[in-house]
Structures are given as structure tokens and as C-alpha cells.
Structure 1
């Protein structure tokens, strides 16, 4: 049926219906032109057979839209097993967010010194605070070219899958609590249940258990 705009507006006012528009697109990657240059140590080689677990990680930030405001998810992904080894959610885009995700990954995995962490050139990853956190943990930073999403394709693909499968066609979550619960449940399922084509239709945890050698980790503290 065809109706005029004014008629629709009048009927909406009469019934107390208000339109809801999608929120403005949020930019999560803001390059810092003054940041020190970092080499690309991955070179778009995201193959799962390229290295053992806990030798090459990648990370990124994606936004989570809720009707209460924006949330942001920072993840750390093992390139060998595609497992999410660390993550953090916050309502801000400060460096603390990516530091928390890296700290979570280090605590869970205790990798040996020399591990490569690959990211884009967003100001959070090029910050001095994040560089110091990497140095303290014995992590070597690797960065993609400015404006090249293909250089961090594994993380970009993960972000797209996360939003598609958690939102399931919705524009946003109802509130922050719902978004955090959905993120936690999906990340757990992604690691333990969801099959990955690059892993021979196995979940990341199954792949690590059945095909990967034991990771080179630090000895636990006494």
C-alpha cells in the first residue's frame, strides 16, 4: 500500500509509535601519525599450519552496538589454532582495553618470549603503554600497513563472524548486560564447539588437543 509521509507521521503520533534509527558508524581504528614504525612480521600468512600455537597471535577491536550505548570488544587470536586466547570488553577505546585483552591472553597461555602479536596501526596498538606491555611480556609487535584490512584479515574475518552470529539480524542489543552475556557465550562456543573450516571442521580447542604439539610455555611459578 502506498501512503503519504504526512499520513504515516500522523498515524504514528496517534498511536504513540516513534521511529528508531541506527546509530552512527563508529570508527575503531584511528592511526597515530607520530607512532614509531613497526614491521609486518606476518605478511598476510595466516595459515594454521604456518607455526605452532602461541608463536603468532593477532588482535583487533570491534564495536558492539546497544541501545544503552557503545561497547567495544578487543580480542587476541592464536593464528595456528584460531582460538581466542584473550579478550576484554569496555565502554571506551582507550589503550587500557587492548592491554587488558593482551594481559588476559598472557595469563591464560604463558607463552615463551619471542611471540609475535600482529595488529593494525590503530592508536591503541601504537601507543607507548601498549609497546611497554609487549616488551614486558616478551612479545614482538607486528603491524599491518595503514588502511589495509587484508593485512589483518584473520582478525577482520573473526569480527565479522562475531557480529553476524551474535546479532542474528538485529541492529543492536537491548542493553549492555545482554551484549556482554552474548559475547561471553559466543566466545566460549567459538573456542569449544564451533567448527572452523581452516581446522578441518574442528573447534579450536579440539584442534589444539589433537593436532598441535604442546605449546612452549613458561614453567609455572613455585
Structure 2
């Protein structure tokens, strides 16, 4: 009996995550409502709170699924034998393409703010950091003398630069780039950064 109850809870949990994901993808995070999500899966409003602490907890789980989708879209295994420069270029292209294809889900990764009295769980923060790790790996080959701490900071800097350009461009800010130019500009930017990093080792 206990096992069957747990299976039902897990099934409801996954259906709520999927429903919330669909709502965010269609209407954006700011329009997400608990009542809409529970109506989509055909359960009472209280059913949500039997598997999640609150709506913020549900959003964290949606964002977790989005991060897994982002990781899959980067095709890391396909380029693992490529040069470090090409791996960085692949990361930038993959990040941009994911953001364009899943704009509202991508935005939710950065727009969601959990309550001050209940910060994001450690496991979710670690999920957010996976991209820093895959950026740091090719950087280590380009600048092998850089310390691990400095490399981690450089990975964040590089991510921030790429994310910033993607973000202001997709939001249509006046300083943003036209979408049709964005991928080429990011590619040239990564080539410039990688060439500079390699030159500093000479």
C-alpha cells in the first residue's frame, strides 16, 4: 500500500512539473498560477501542496528539468575530442540556440527568486553551476598555468559575457544585436577570447 501511494505521489509530481513547464513555456514565469497548473492535471489545488512545499518549490523543479535540457542541447559528448576553442564555440552556440528555442523556460532560470527565508536548495544551486564546469575545462587547456580559483572566476566572466549579449539581444534592448547576427558575433567573440588566452601562454 505504501509503495502504491508513493508511486501515485511521484506520478502527480511529474505531471505537475510538466504542466507548470508547459505554462511557463507558453505564458512566461510571471503568469504562472498554482490553480491553473492543478486544473491542467485534473487535481485539487491542495494536491500541489502534498508533493511540493509551494509554487516556488515547483518552479525550482521545472528549472531543474530545464537545466537538464540545456545540458543535453550542448552536445558535450559529440565535441569532447575537439579543440578547446571549438568546444567553447560549441557551448556558446548551444546556449544561444537553447535560449532562442525555449525563451520563456530559459528566462525562468534567471527570473525566479525564491523567498528570502527559504533560499534555493543546495542541489539546485549545484545544477546551475554545471555550465561553469564545462566552460572551465577548455579554459584549463588554453591556459594551463592558471590556478583553479582563477579559472573558475574566468569561467563565470565568460559565461556572464555570453549570457549578457544573448539576454539583451533577445529582449530587444537598443544595445542588443540583431538575432540574425547574434550567432556569428558570439562565435567571433569566443575566437577572440580563445586566441588571447592562448597567446598569453607564449
Normalised by the length of structure 1, the TM-score is 0.26
Structure with greater proportional strand content: 1
Structure with greater proportional helix content: 2
Normalised by the length of structure 2, the TM-score is 0.28
